[in-house]
């Protein structure tokens, strides 16, 4: 076994530091691209590197990434919990989860016209014209004012052109 010189040891540390710096730059790119799960793994690697100041920064970013990727546990129990979460998901463009939670809310309170109305909108936005018509028809049968509200609702306006049956439902006085 040969003894390594202090110069060789220093060269290896510089190499490890350079690798840490390159890993840091890669992790920051992932972070700015909002690829938080991948950035977490990259920042963990950087945090294990030899340069303390870079490792400290990496740990800070790692905490942010972990918060961004953590899925908070939802405790939705009531009709309004599911409805409100469904509205939040609909506003975020997540019509799949929105429909799921509107369905949960309706299972708890099948004759809630406001849930049916909002589910009709969600169905229409997601491209389900039949679902939009059926749910709006039920909402109108429970409270006829929903017909007037839908006619004036700017969120329904683009759906009228897309789904003639929906337009016909709102134009008619009956079903």
Average pLDDT over residues 117-139: 96
Mean pLDDT of the chain: 88
| Pairwise CA distance, residues 171 & 114, whole Å | 20
Gap between the terminal Cα atoms of the chain? 92
pTM above 0.75, yes or no: no
- Helix or strand run (H / E) with residue 35: none
| Pairwise CA distance, residues 171 & 156, whole Å | 13
- φ, ψ for residue 10, nearest 5 deg: -65, -40
- HEC string for 43-65: HHHHHCCCCHHHHHHHHHHHHHH
Q: Identify the pLDDT of residue 103.
A: 96
As a dihedral over the C-alpha atoms of residue 8, residue 10, residue 42, residue 23, rounded to 10 degrees, the angle is: -90
Nearest to 165 by CA among 134, 141, 139, 144: 134
Tell me how crowded residue 67 is: count the other CB atoms within 10 A of its CB: 10
Contact 147, 170 (CB under 8 A): yes
Per the listing, tokens 């953590």 go with 70
Q: Identify the pLDDT of residue 75.
A: 84
Average pLDDT over residues 92-98: 93
In eight-state DSSP terms, residue 33 is: T
Contact 46, 23 (CB under 8 A): yes
Q: Identify the pLDDT of residue 72.
A: 65
Least reliable range by pLDDT among 35-39, 69-73, 106-110: 69-73
- The SS3 assignment for 5 reads coil
Whether the pLDDT of residue 1 is over 60: the answer is: no
Per the listing, tokens 């463009």 go with 93
DSSP for 63-102, written as a single string = HHHHHHH--PPP---SHHHHHHHHHHHHHTT-HHHHHHHH
Tokens of 164: 């003639």
């Amino acid at each position: 076994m040969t003894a390594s010189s202090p110069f060789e040891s220093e060269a290896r540390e510089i190499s490890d530091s350079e690798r840490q710096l390159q890993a840091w730059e890669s992790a920051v790119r992932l972070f700015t691209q909002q690829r938080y799960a991948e950035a977490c793994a990259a920042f963990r690697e950087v945090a294990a590197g030899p340069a303390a100041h870079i490792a400290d920064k990496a740990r800070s970013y790692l905490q942010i990434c972990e918060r961004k990727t953590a899925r908070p546990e939802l405790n939705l129990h009531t009709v309004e919990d599911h409805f409100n979460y469904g509205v939040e998901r609909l506003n975020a463009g997540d019509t799949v989860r929105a429909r799921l939670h509107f369905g949960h809310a309706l299972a708890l309170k099948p004759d809630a016209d406001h849930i049916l109305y909002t589910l009709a909108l969600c169905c229409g936005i997601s491209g389900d014209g039949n679902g939009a018509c059926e749910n709006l028809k039920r909402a109108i049968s429970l409270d006829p004012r929903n017909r007037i509200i839908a006619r004036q609702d700017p969120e329904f306006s683009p759906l009228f052109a897309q789904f003639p049956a929906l337009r016909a439902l709102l134009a008619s006085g009956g079903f």
